[in-house]
Amino acid sequence: MPPQWSGLSPDLLVAVDRNSGEPLRSQVERQLRDAIRTGRLQVGERLPSSRQLAHEAGLSRGLVQDCYAQLQAEGYLVTRVGSATRVAAGACVPPSPAPPSHPEPPRLLADFRWGVPDLRSFPLGDWLWAMREAGRTLPTAELDYGDPRGSAVLRDVLAGYLRRVRAGAAAPERLVICSGYAQGLGLALRALARAGIRTVAHEDPGSPATLTAAAAAAGLSAVPVPVDEQGIDVAALAATDARAVVVTPAHQWPTGVVLAPERRLAVLDWAERRDGFVIEDDYDAEFRYDREPVGSLQGLAADRVLAIGTVSKSLAPALRLGWLLCPPALAEPVSALKQLADRGSPTLDQLALAKLIESGRYDRQLRRMRTVYAARRDALVAALATHAPGVAVTGLAAGFHAVAHLAPETDEQTVIAAARTRSVGLHGMSACRSTGATAPAQLVLGFGDLGERAITAGIAAIGDLLGGPG
């Protein structure tokens, strides 16, 4: 379908050369023919009015009208009374045969994919209100490029929020606004590389592909460190040559364990002794259900921890808004890297987020979603107890995913493939392991973007595959 340009008359580039010796009319006709033949102008696409094209190209209107009439006679254009001049059907060169289209994947009864919040619960009304308020009170100076660290207004609001909610040692001048976790991680790793660090450690299981790629892009090597029921193994970390480590202490991805108090202190002691840094991914910290709040590592050692936070889980990934809370020694290097990357994140969105937090609507959304996710977690546990009672489930104290532990003899990939034939999407722990090992067989069951009915129906459809009654 051709573009349907709004407005009285769309623009069109027609360049004439008055010194070429070729008549102006011939030049215009040739350029229009070429534009139609090559598909630059598509069938049904509207051309500018003769008056508009004459004005833009510095030609007489009569000359342009003659060109249109000639091309209409040749079958390139079509004109109807009271309607714009358009490209005639059949005037373009037929496009190359399109590659065979892949059939749409069948719609799933339930897809237990991880890392996705309830997209239907995005507070669109509150966000539009915040955008309007931000625009209404926007100082003209905020429309300039501004500080690469981000809006001073948002950084001030965020610093207060992180002190209040995450017990962070937050100061506005050490916050850098970024486009989500991926950019935040990249900025942090590049800053560490510039500081002389060559190796970064990461949790295993975790996000090995993401960490390895991000480390390589920053010129670092990445080494996995095992995680147990108390979090990252600090003794194993100390046995590596890493001087930086990426951790998810509040709710480890994907096991769901909380970094034990003694391990928290041990990680910070390791960083001090190694003259290293900890990158804290504050993953799922907002969503806790039946446990005491866990403060951030950054609040315990502000000079050794870079904390990354986003609104991808609390609001929506599409907003592409996050932040880095930097140690004093890295605040300027990270800011300089952000300047090189994109000169700063969109200001209006930052101001809208500041309004959302200041107004209390952000906190209200978090409270509402805790209730929603807790109900979905309960629905998952109940469905597994009914349809797969032999399956142990862990990682339930926070977030919106759980880990299902299958019987030792179970083949993870066989279960995933069989579930797909029953229109249920399952995802294995093997994708989170640095080795890709499929044993022990475990499933990471995300329930953030699934309603309670879908959760129950999905587990009922595959209960026997997980170890339930046949």
- Kindly compute the dihedral angle of the four CA atoms of residues 165, 245, 278, 358, in this order, to the nearest 10 degrees: -30
What is d(CA 13, CA 410) in angstroms, rounded to the nearest whole number? 64
User: In terms of DSSP bridges, do strands 110-111 and 424-425 run parallel, antiparallel, or are they unpaired?
Assistant: parallel
Rounded to the nearest angstrom, the gap between the alpha carbon of residue 399 and the centroid of all alpha carbons in its chain is 17
Kindly give, in sequence order, each residue whose CB lies less than 8 Å from that of residue 171, ignoring residues fewer than 6 positions away: 159
Q: Supply the pLDDT for residue 186.
A: 98
Q: How far apart are the two ends of the chain, measured CA to CA in Å?
A: 51
**Cβ atoms of residues 381 and 156 within 8 Å:** no
Please report how many Cα atoms fall inside a 13 Å half-sphere around the Cα of residue 391, on the Cβ side.
31
C-alpha–C-alpha distance, residues 254 and 232, integer Å: 12
What integer pLDDT is reported at residue 93 of this predicted model? 67
CATH code of the region 24-87: 1.10.10.10
The alpha carbon of 158 is separated from its chain's Cα centroid by a whole number of angstroms, namely: 20
pTM of the entire structure?
Answer: 0.88
Spatial contact of 160 and 298, defined as CB atoms under 8 Å apart: no
Q: Is the peptide bond before 99 cis (omega within 30 degrees of 0)?
A: no
Strand, helix or coil at 323?
strand
Six-digit token string for 46: 């509207």
The partner residues of 445 in beta bridges, in order of sequence, read 402
Mention every residue, 6+ apart, whose C-beta is less than 8 A from residue 437: 430
Residue 89: its pLDDT value, please?
A: 87
Confirm if 287 and 434 have CB atoms less than 8 A apart.
Answer: no
pLDDT at 3: 65
Q: In this structure, what is the dihedral angle of CA atoms 160, 161, 163, 167, given to the nearest 10 degrees?
A: 180
| pLDDT for residue 290 | 61
Give pLDDT tens digits along the chain (470 positions): 566 666 666 888 899 999 998 999 999 999 999 999 988 898 889 899 899 999 999 999 999 999 999 999 999 999 877 778 999 988 776 666 666 666 666 789 999 999 999 999 999 999 999 999 999 999 999 999 999 999 999 999 999 999 999 999 999 999 999 999 999 999 999 999 999 999 999 999 999 999 999 999 999 999 999 999 999 999 999 999 999 999 999 989 999 999 999 999 999 999 999 999 999 998 777 777 766 678 899 999 999 999 999 999 999 999 999 999 999 999 999 999 999 999 999 999 999 999 999 999 999 999 999 999 999 999 999 999 999 999 999 988 888 999 999 998 899 999 999 999 999 999 999 999 999 999 999 999 999 999 999 999 999 999 999 976 65
Q: Which residue has the tokens 């592409």?
A: 320
Tokens of 354: 């500041």
- Please report the pLDDT score of residue 79 as a whole number: 84
What pLDDT sits at residue 59?
94
pLDDT value of position 287: 79
Q: What is the pLDDT of residues 11-52, one digit of tens each?
A: 888 999 999 989 999 999 999 999 999 888 988 898 998 999
Q: CATH assignment of 110-117+364-466, given 3.40.50.2300, 3.90.1150.10, 4.10.320.10, 1.10.3470.10?
A: 3.90.1150.10
C-alpha to C-alpha distance for 350 and 344, rounded to whole angstroms: 10
Q: For residue 52, give Cα distances in angstroms to 3, 13, 55, 82, 313.
A: 19, 11, 5, 16, 49
The fold adopted by the segment(s) 122-359 is Aspartate Aminotransferase; domain 2 (3.40.640)
Q: How many CB atoms lie within 10 A of CB 127?
A: 20
pLDDT of residue 102: 66
CB atoms within 10 A of CB 158: 24
Domain segments of the chain as ranges = 24-87, 110-117+364-466, 122-359
Token pair for 325: 């809370």
Interatomic CA distance for residues 10 and 1, integer angstroms: 17
- Type of residue numbered 453: R
